[in-house]
Amino acid sequence: MENHGARWAAAFGLQGDALVAQRERYERLKQHMVFQIDAAGITDPLTVLATANGSTSNSSSSWSQYFTDETLLEEINTDLERLYPAGNESFFQNELYLSTLRHVLFVWCRLHPDVAYRQGMHDVAAVVLYAFLYTTKDGNTEGDSAKKLPEHAEADTFLVFEAVMLFLKPFYEIVKTRHGTSCENEDSNRLFASFSLKGNENDNGVNTKGAQKKQPALHQLCHHIQYELLQQKDPQLYYHLQNLEIVPETYCLRWIRLLFAREYALKELLWIWDAMILDNTRADVIFPVINMTDKSDNDLLQLPKLISKNEDASWIGFPLLRYICVARLLQLSSQLRQSDNTGCLRLLMRAYQEEELDGEQNRAIELIKFARILRDPMTEETQQCEDGEKDCDGESRSVEVVQFQEGSLGIILTAAGAQYEDRLAVKSFTRDPTAIGGVGQAEASGKVRLGDLLQSINGVPIIGVTTEEVKRRLQLIDRPVYIGFCHCSDAFGNENTAASDGSEAVEVSDAAESSPRSDTALSELVLPVFLPGELCYANVETSMQRLVLSHDGSCLSHYISGKLFITNYRCFFTRLLGRGEIDWQIPVLSIASIDRIDPHASATTGPASLSVENAQVALGFAPDDSFKVVIRCKDTQVARLSITDQSEYSKLVKCLSFLAFPSSLLEAFCFAYSPTVAPSEEVQFDIRQEYKRIGLLSFPEHLRCIDQSSQYTLCETYPRHLIVPADISDVRLKAAAAFRAHQRLPVVSWIHPSNGATIVRSSQPLVGLKSARSGEDELLVTLSCCSTNKKAFGRYVIMDARSQLAAVGNKALGKGTEISSNYRGAKLIFMNVENIHSVRQSQVSLAAIFEPKKSASEDTSSSFYGRIDSSGWLRHVRLVLKASVELAHTVHNGMSVLTHCSDGWDRTAQMVALAALMLDPYYRTLRGFQVLVEKEWCAFGHQFALRCGHARSDVSNEQRSPVFLLWLDCVWQYIRQYPTECEFNESFLLALADHVYSCKFGTFMFDCERQRKDFFAKHRVFSIWSEINTQSERFTNHMYAPSEQATVLSPSTLSKNIKLWKGYFCRWDPTVIPPVPAFQCY
């Protein structure tokens, strides 16, 4: 009777005389190695061993060997006692089978002392034994009732197991690690883990090709499966696993080492092993030649070898195995994409379930077929022919696979008919001007026909996938790409031609947008182009007020008829007779308030205590019977809409209010946005790498980088990794944190490369009216400011960003400022930067000056400048710049500075980030500025959601304040005074100023790093830097020519040199001459 084991033995070359010789070899090995393990259950094993050897000397040697093997036997027996393979739980409880496995494993481990026994080997050996006991003819095994093994079953099991382990042995090898250093021993007593330069040169988590060669075989194969093969086959799933920080070793280790022994029942597992062992691309196995006439033991220790057909076989193992792993991932793809980190790990680590028993052979065969197609997509043609698929008319459907190079595919895809639900079909061909004869790749292949169903991309089935997802997938996959088309005569049902289909059709190409190819496509140009993930909730017929400059300098208004589209990201207006151009737009979460007037109602939501007519005038409308809506935006835009139809008015107000002020920030567009840019193009910010660049990790004797853990146990609004003095214990760190507001203890943010002076940031101390003090806090401040700066002789500066009056006033709340006499060597100064409430009111006043209104004019030119001055905005700009210049010069002159405001996340961020910009030329580059924002604003906990009022309708909320905008204004003053020193331009600053409110990206979401990581672990988002960097030319200063002088570049803070940022505040005012470009980057 045929069995799988016999097929495997033949595939490994174990036939005829060679098989007889190898069986003899095993019996002789067993005679020399196994006899003592059978004595393990005897009361007096020494007597048995002596009897077997016949001499005292030999018995002594055997006794020694007995103890040597005792540990090995214990490990093997421990695993064999719990050998209950799913679906065959009782099968291996037969003592005859357990004894056979014990012998096989023991002999192999004795022959390979470099690896010995590793957990999981018993599963592999059990599958081999099962293969010799299970016959495919009748599907029966003798099971636990068997009293005797088939002849040579044990020897054959060993030989096949030995051959299989040639492919698996590299994955069981243990890589030796270095012994811990004294430094590591010291860290073992700390509460927080430390990060250092040593051993962390490649800490980005994703291996490079250079690093791969240094890794163990198991890690190389795991990384190859997820980071290379999966990325090429299903990039969306690859990026999903990446964003959830799922490393392949967590699930691939068991798949590879056990060859899926715990993922499938034994009967279906045999078919999977069949495919790997009978695969003609694997390396050949050469067994040692045994001289059967020579009774000496000279040949016994010779081992079989692999004759590699591939130079990388040392880590590949069975060549088909990696594709089987990818096939299993793809079979779980839809479930994985809908799961968070925990859900994905449960799916990937799930063992065989009893309910999966039905159709077990078919399930295994489908997996193997899928893996073979993934390895060579061209084989899909023959696979489908063998399956004999048929269409609705009973006609055979064949599959053609086409190889596509760079460029457009030359096809337009659309949804297929109802009978092929969730499938895409070829609607038409497109021409390619760059190709010979202008014929596109698909048509030129001669294999693609109109009406063909899109079958697969690189062997991965395309079912339930939209045209946009197909485009994104193609943009993320390297060429050449293999696409399968299924010939089908009725893809569009009862429709006569594909062109008559009324569903959305999209050209598939490399480009982000495709050119119109027909009159139908041309007519679609009048419709707006939506972003990936953007959904239109409503479109309303309305008229928008437009203001223009008259000859006398006042504003004249007129209305433009059109449609207002409201999506999950923005609302935008297009005129009726236009060609799809957007005349006005704003992200819905950038809307500050919505005022409306219903002429038929007794009350309005506009100015209080006014009649309907007066309310219309107050809001800038001429009185009439139409419905009015005023949209006030956080970027200072004001849109006035007039609507004649009550139902349209009601639809607009309800939809806009729902989207602009959602109940949860999880409704923000960043969670739906799915651009084609790959996350690999983003700036992967790691604050530890920035600490390394600055030099903060270069003084391990003075400073150390601690890891708060994912629970942020020291301070939840700080970054996870912090720089603190090396000479202070973790217990004292916690005590010092308790003495600061919100536990924002003093930590080092920047160090001067020449003099070692540091910038230290924190929140205010909890001094209170009783002038409390903390010895731990005083020690932490002193060590942070003085340990790397010996030339200052223990002197440093404490810069309180507030005024002295404001700092003293906080004492009544249990807070306050440092008492300088308690901090030896400290000089306390106040920088007089005003609070968030004053800044908020100044921005409102300044924005009102540049809000164009109908018939608005001014009497004298002096009143205009007086209003700008009285708004106080330029005063805030000057004070922040002045404080930052003082900080930068103090540090540059060799004196360390501790700076804070009240909570350490508003004025402190402004001062530290500006000072760093002046001191460090790296931050004046495009990429460096991105790192600066990520570090000082995002990582150190500026409350973007609270200060920007994300998803909040309470306009008067006291915690709203344009703190980040004020800082960007200071940066604009800087690049205006130093036009050649910064690589970025004004457009870059405007883009940041707009997107801090838009919620299109995850960068400025929530209030601290911990909140972002908690939410983003479950939801995929993109950073603003990915879009900035793909359009870097747009944001680059073409006059950039940095000076080579290693000096602080500080701007002038004289009032006459502080100018109004017209590019931001005047861009919506048509009365400004010359006109200011209305730059937007939405």
pLDDT tens for each residue of 839-883: 999 999 999 999 877 545 555 555 888 899 999 999 999 999 999
Chain center to CA of 444: 39
User: Taking residues 877-900, what's their average pLDDT?
Assistant: 97
User: Is it the case that residue 131 has pLDDT exceeding 80?
Assistant: yes
pLDDT number for residue 873: 97
Spatial contact of 589 and 999, defined as CB atoms under 8 Å apart: yes
pLDDT number for residue 501: 38
DSSP 1054-1072: -GGG----HHHHSTT-TTS
Partners of residue 484 on adjacent β-strands? 401, 456
At which residue do the structure tokens 């009893």 appear? Answer: 354
pLDDT tens for residues 17-47?
A: 889 989 988 988 888 776 555 544 444 444 4
Q: H/E element holding 993?
A: helix 986-998
836 is in an annotated binding site: yes
CA distances from 777 to 18, 190, 368, 765 (A): 78, 18, 64, 9
Kindly report whether the peptide bond that precedes residue 480 is cis, defined as omega within 30 degrees of 0.
yes
Pairing between strand 584-587 and 570-575? antiparallel
pLDDT number for residue 1081: 87
User: Is it the case that residue 973 has pLDDT exceeding 80?
Assistant: yes
The closest alpha carbon to 78, from 98, 61, 51, 48, belongs to 98
pLDDT number for residue 889: 97
SS3 574: strand
Q: What is the CA radius of gyration of the chain?
A: 37
Tokens of 670: 């960043």
The active-site residue out of 901, 938, 1008, 1066 is: 901
Q: pLDDT tier at 885 (50, 70, 90 boundaries)? A: very high
pLDDT number for residue 338: 85
What is the total residue count of the chain?
A: 1082
Q: pLDDT tier at 721 (50, 70, 90 boundaries)? A: very high
User: Is it the case that residue 290 has pLDDT exceeding 50?
Assistant: yes
pLDDT number for residue 601: 64
Q: pLDDT tier at 656 (50, 70, 90 boundaries)? A: very high
Which of the residue ranges 172-186, 232-246, 656-670 would you say has the lowest mean pLDDT? Answer: 172-186
Which of the residue ranges 154-163, 186-195, 310-319, 1043-1052 would you say has the lowest mean pLDDT? Answer: 186-195
Half-sphere exposure of residue 237: CA atoms within 13 angstroms, side-chain side: 23
Domain with CATH 2.30.42.10 in the chain: 383-513
906 is in an annotated binding site: yes
Spatial contact of 1015 and 885, defined as CB atoms under 8 Å apart: no
pLDDT number for residue 237: 87
CA dist., res. 719 & res. 940, Å (int): 6
849 is in an annotated binding site: no
User: Is it the case that residue 1030 has pLDDT exceeding 90?
Assistant: no
Q: Which alpha helices (H) appear in 582-684, and where do they start and end?
A: 612-618, 646-660
User: Taking residues 136-158, what's their average pLDDT?
Assistant: 71
CA dist., res. 786 & res. 857, Å (int): 59
SS3 122: helix
pLDDT tens for residues 292-338?
A: 666 666 667 789 998 876 655 556 789 999 999 999 999 999 899 88
Q: Model's pTM, two decimal places?
A: 0.63
CA dist., res. 40 & res. 4, Å (int): 33
User: Taking residues 710-721, what's their average pLDDT?
Assistant: 94
CA triple 223-224-226, angle to 5 deg? 65
Contacts of 14 (CB under 8 A, 6+ apart): 22, 156, 159, 160, 163, 287
User: Taking residues 45-65, what's their average pLDDT?
Assistant: 50
What is the pLDDT of the chain when averaged over all its residues?
83
The closest alpha carbon to 745, from 697, 712, 787, 699, belongs to 712
298 is in an annotated binding site: no
Q: What is the dihedral of CA 447, 452, 453, 459, to 10 degrees?
A: 0
User: Taking residues 682-694, what's their average pLDDT?
Assistant: 86
pLDDT tens for residues 386-436?
A: 555 555 455 556 889 999 988 888 888 888 887 787 888 888 888 877 777
Tokens of 591: 């809307």
Q: pLDDT tier at 576 (50, 70, 90 boundaries)? A: confident
User: Is it the case that residue 692 has pLDDT exceeding 90?
Assistant: yes
User: Taking residues 818-846, what's their average pLDDT?
Assistant: 95
784, burial (CB in 10 Å: exposed 0-12, middle 13-18, buried 19+): buried
Contacts of 331 (CB under 8 A, 6+ apart): 367, 370
Q: What percent of the chain has pLDDT over 90?
A: 49
pLDDT tens for residues 527-572?
A: 677 888 888 888 899 999 988 887 776 778 888 999 999 999 999 9
pLDDT number for residue 236: 81
907 is in an annotated binding site: yes
433, burial (CB in 10 Å: exposed 0-12, middle 13-18, buried 19+): exposed
Which of the residue ranges 130-134, 486-490, 737-741 would you say has the lowest mean pLDDT? Answer: 486-490
User: Is it the case that residue 676 has pLDDT exceeding 80?
Assistant: no
Pairing between strand 896-900 and 796-800? parallel
835 is in an annotated binding site: yes
Q: pLDDT tier at 910 (50, 70, 90 boundaries)? A: very high
For the segment(s) 527-661, the CATH number from 2.170.120.40, 3.90.850.10, 3.80.30.20, 2.30.29.30 is 2.30.29.30
Which of the residue ranges 355-359, 872-876, 921-925, 1036-1040 would you say has the lowest mean pLDDT? Answer: 355-359
Helix count and strand count (H, E) for the chain? 40, 24
Domain with CATH 2.30.29.30 in the chain: 527-661
User: Is it the case that residue 682 has pLDDT exceeding 60?
Assistant: no
CA dist., res. 913 & res. 898, Å (int): 14
291 is in an annotated binding site: no
Does the annotation count 901 as an active-site position? yes
Q: Which of 216-230, 417-431, 983-997 has the highest average model confidence (pLDDT)? A: 983-997
CA dist., res. 965 & res. 947, Å (int): 11
User: Taking residues 627-633, what's their average pLDDT?
Assistant: 93
Which of the residue ranges 233-247, 392-406, 908-922 would you say has the lowest mean pLDDT? Answer: 392-406
Q: What percent of the chain has pLDDT over 70?
A: 81
| φ, ψ for residue 486, nearest 5 deg | -100, 115
Class of domain 383-513: mainly beta
901 is in an annotated binding site: yes
Q: pLDDT tier at 134 (50, 70, 90 boundaries)? A: confident
pLDDT tens for residues 95-115?
A: 889 999 999 999 999 899 889
